[in-house]
Amino acid sequence: MTTARIALATCSSLPDLEADDAPLIPALAARGVGAEPVVWDDPSVDWSVYDAVVIRSTWDYTGRPAEFLDWTRRVESVTRLFNPASVIAWNTDKVYQRALESAGLPIVPTIWLDPEQNYDSRRVHSRFPAFGDFVIKPTISAGSRDTGRYEAGVTPQRSMAITHAKNLLSAGRHVMIQRYLRNVDSAGESALVFFNGELSHTLRKGPLLDGPFRPGESEGVLYKDEVMTVREPSADELDVAQRVVAALPDLVPGVDGPLLYTRVDLIPDDEGNPVVLELEVIEPSFFFTLVPEAVERYADAIVARL
Ligand SMILES: Nc1ncnc2c1ncn2[C@@H]1O[C@H](COP(=O)(O)OP(=O)(O)O)[C@@H](O)[C@H]1O
Ligand SMILES: [Mg+2]
């Protein structure tokens, strides 16, 4: 007997969800919840027929964030959206990391370039580190798109980095410059997944960036395949991630308790201390294939909200 009906929002290229999320549907059905994949930008959808909309694989929004944010507000005007529209708006642009930093949380040290500053090549160049590898990425992105890694000591790479940054800036995009934290090469990245504020599981993601951004190459995506495994978080990682989760009500407008889902991505800095690379509260992958029992926890977490 179905007591609730929910939409799992996805993108048109994944109309049946990503394979990883497919077990969610039977897990919810077992709890009396009818869940169906729905394409977020399908204009024919009446969102008011759903008791709730849960965002999953809406990955094509990064090229049109305004349209996506408008959609979140429209959905929220007729039903409940997880995570809420205010959270999505806050998390879409990596400038949220400044709020984490102001709250005393450790982030990857970042130089921020504003497109309105009309940076010329020389001024862009002056912001690069003098030695070591560094990363250029836009503040609005996902899946390592438009992201590149450069060697400061190699002149042609510095030129490529200038071109990369200037192309982003002239497209009106805000740019982040970070030193490449090379401990990620051995330790990898840790993704701590929380449902309703409780740690569900932790994944290890292998290092992804191996060189400069090359336009056109796999749609501007530059990555080795994401190599994911399950890991246990260190005590320090758990501490930082829990502090991030606890800080969100103070940082995000309209949030008064734990979110349905939060993924905190950490990498070790040069001293080995975990720092926040990314906080994912829009459409994080949870890698249920690797942690099948987490599907049950997520389904329980959703049901607890209905
Ligand atoms: N400063 C950095 N040091 C080391 N690796 C980085 C750094 N910034 C990004 N990366 C690598 O690039 C990937 C994508 O960057 P991220 O900031 O997570 O953006 P997104 O996942 O939103 O595209 C990360 O998973 C990581 O492997
Ligand atoms: Mg990431």
Average pLDDT for the chain: 93
Q: What mean pLDDT is predicted for residues 155-171?
A: 95
Q: Which atom of ligand 1 is nearest the CA belonging to 181?
A: 3
Beta-sheet pairing, 198-205 with 228-230: antiparallel
> For residues 174 and 116, what is the distance between their CA atoms, to the nearest angstrom?
9
- Confidence at residue 143, expressed as pLDDT on a 0 to 100 scale: 81
| Cα–ligand 2 centroid distance for 131 (angstroms) | 24
Which residues does 143 contact at the CB level (< 8 Å), separation at least 6?
Answer: 59, 221, 223
- Separate counts of helices (H) and strands (E) for the chain: 9, 13
Q: What mean pLDDT is predicted for residues 137-158?
A: 91
Q: Which atom of ligand 1 is nearest the CA belonging to 108?
A: 1
Shortest-distance ligand to the CA of residue 205: 1
Q: pLDDT higher for 276 or 61?
A: 276
* Closest residue to atom 8 of ligand 1, CA basis: 135
The closest alpha carbon to 57, from 31, 19, 100, 84, belongs to 19
Domains of the chain: 4-91 (3.40.50.20), 96-106+183-209+218-289 (3.30.470.20), 110-179 (3.30.1490)
Residue 222: is its pLDDT beyond 50? no
- Confidence at residue 227, expressed as pLDDT on a 0 to 100 scale: 85
* pLDDT tens digits, 3-41: 899 999 999 999 999 999 999 999 999 999 999 999 999
| Cα–ligand 2 centroid distance for 71 (angstroms) | 23
- Confidence at residue 3, expressed as pLDDT on a 0 to 100 scale: 82
* pLDDT tens digits, 90-129: 999 999 999 999 999 999 999 999 999 989 999 999 999 9
Shortest-distance ligand to the CA of residue 141: 1
Exposure string over 233-270, b if 16+ CB within 10 A, otherwise e:
bbeebbebbbbbbebbeebbeebeebbbbbbbbbbbbe
Q: pLDDT band for 217, please (50, 70, 90 cuts).
A: low
CB 5 within 8 A of CB 33: yes
| Cα–ligand 1 centroid distance for 300 (angstroms) | 31
Q: pLDDT band for 212, please (50, 70, 90 cuts).
A: confident
| Cα–ligand 2 centroid distance for 50 (angstroms) | 30
pTM comes to 0.94
- Confidence at residue 248, expressed as pLDDT on a 0 to 100 scale: 96
Beta-sheet pairing, 110-113 with 175-179: antiparallel
Share above pLDDT 90 across residues of the chain, in percent, rounded to a whole number: 86
Report the run of H or E that residue 220 belongs to, with start and end: none
Residue 139: is its pLDDT beyond 70? yes
> For residues 88 and 62, what is the distance between their CA atoms, to the nearest angstrom?
12
Report the run of H or E that residue 111 belongs to, with start and end: strand 110-113
Lowest pLDDT segment from 170-179, 215-224, 260-269:
215-224
* Closest residue to atom 6 of ligand 1, CA basis: 180
